[in-house]
Structure 1
Amino acid sequence: MIDGIDPVIHAPKRLAAMAVLANSPTASFRFLKDYLQVSDSDLSKHMSALEAAGYVSATKNGRGRGATTTYKLTKPGEQAYVAHRDALRALLDGPP
């Protein structure tokens, strides 16, 4: 394994979701779904994996069809994202 590459974040859709959350205080499920152009079930699966890793927190408001879920990057998630991003840059830049 390459140092710093986080297998939880590395999946393209998870990496994109983390990038959105790293540049925004929060993002709604609907916004992420539309931005990433994925189905409800696909986004739910990826966000659940990030939440299980402790990288994002989810807040649910309301019930039924009017309910909204909002995601926020956690401090460990922010640290993991920065480390992953830096590892990708180092990999792409090649050896010194």
Structure 2
Amino acid sequence: MFNELDPILNSPVRLAVMSILLTVKHAQFNDLLKETQTTQGNLSHQLKKLQEAGYVQIQKTFKNNYPLTIIHISETGKKAFEVYVENIKTYLHLNENNT
């Protein structure tokens, strides 16, 4: 039986952001911008979606009088990502029970 894929994570940019945050725990906006190779506007929009879902926390501050945005993955986000990966494995028949 196939579970529905999380529509929040079923976006390439949002999935990339979550993948990155899972390995580094937090990242600056400009680092995510570079890694995802998207536009500032699109990244901002995708981060807002992740924040609204409770998957990330966004901290806005200043460093040397310049705005600094730091994004953290939440426990909810970690769990949602794990479930998403397990569901993808099911679709690809990669789960141990399905082989």
* TM-score, normalised by the number of residues in structure 2: 0.87
Choose between structure 1 and 2: higher strand proportion: 2
Q: Deviations over 1:45-91 (max 9, x none)?
A: 0000000000000011128x711101010011100000001111111
Q: Which amino acid aligns with 2:14?
A: R
Q: Runs (4+) of structure 1 moved beyond 4 Å?
A: none
Query: For structure 1, which runs of at least 5 residues remain unmatched after alignment?
Result: none
* Rg larger in structure: 2
For residues 22 and 4 of structure 2, the distance between their equivalents in structure 1, rounded to whole angstroms, comes to: 17
Choose between structure 1 and 2: higher helix proportion: 1
Task: Kindly indicate whether residue 14 of structure 2 is the aligned counterpart of residue 22 of structure 1.
Answer: no
RMSD (Å), alpha carbons: 1.8
Q: Which amino acid aligns with 2:13?
A: K
Task: Kindly indicate whether residue 70 of structure 2 is the aligned counterpart of residue 48 of structure 1.
Answer: no
Task: Kindly indicate whether residue 69 of structure 2 is the aligned counterpart of residue 66 of structure 1.
Answer: no
Q: Count residues in correspondence.
A: 94
Query: For structure 2, which runs of at least 5 residues remain unmatched after alignment?
Result: none
Counting aligned pairs with the same residue, the percent is 26
Pairwise CA distance, 1:92 = 1.2
